[in-house]
Amino acid sequence: MRKLNAIQFTLLRLIADAGGSFIPSEDSDPIKLRALRDLVKAGRLSVEPTDGGDRYHLTAQGYSDAAA
């Protein structure tokens, strides 16, 4: 399994602290948006399209990594 970088780990912790899901604002930092997409590819987040934008949810692996 691939190791998380600091941004990815921080995002997982923030999403876990927010209740397990997160919708980034439209003016979010592109680096953070890329990190979110990478976490989806790694199976640590799932994505749900909504009217307000994509909502990211922690997967079981994401919860495990956030708790580490």
Q: What is the CATH number of the domain that holds 46?
A: 1.10.10.10
Q: Counting runs of H as helices and runs of E as strands, what totals does the chain give?
A: 3, 3
Residue range 25-49: mean pLDDT, rounded: 92
User: pLDDT class for 3, splitting at 50, 70, 90?
Assistant: confident
How far, in Å, CA of 46 to CA of 34, rounded?
A: 14
Position 1 in a domain = no
Phi and psi torsions of 13, nearest 5°: -65, -45
Work out the number of other CB atoms within 10 angstroms of the CB of residue 42.
Answer: 16
Position 41 in a domain = yes
What's the domain count of the chain?
1
Ranges 23-27, 40-44, 60-64: which has the least confidence: 23-27
How far, in Å, CA of 2 to CA of 18, rounded?
A: 24
User: pLDDT class for 25, splitting at 50, 70, 90?
Assistant: confident
Q: Which pair of structure tokens corresponds to residue 35?
A: 């990190």
Range(s) of the domain holding residue 63: 6-67
pTM of the entire structure? 0.86
Q: Does the pLDDT value for residue 57 go beyond 70?
A: yes
Q: Does the pLDDT value for residue 5 go beyond 60?
A: yes
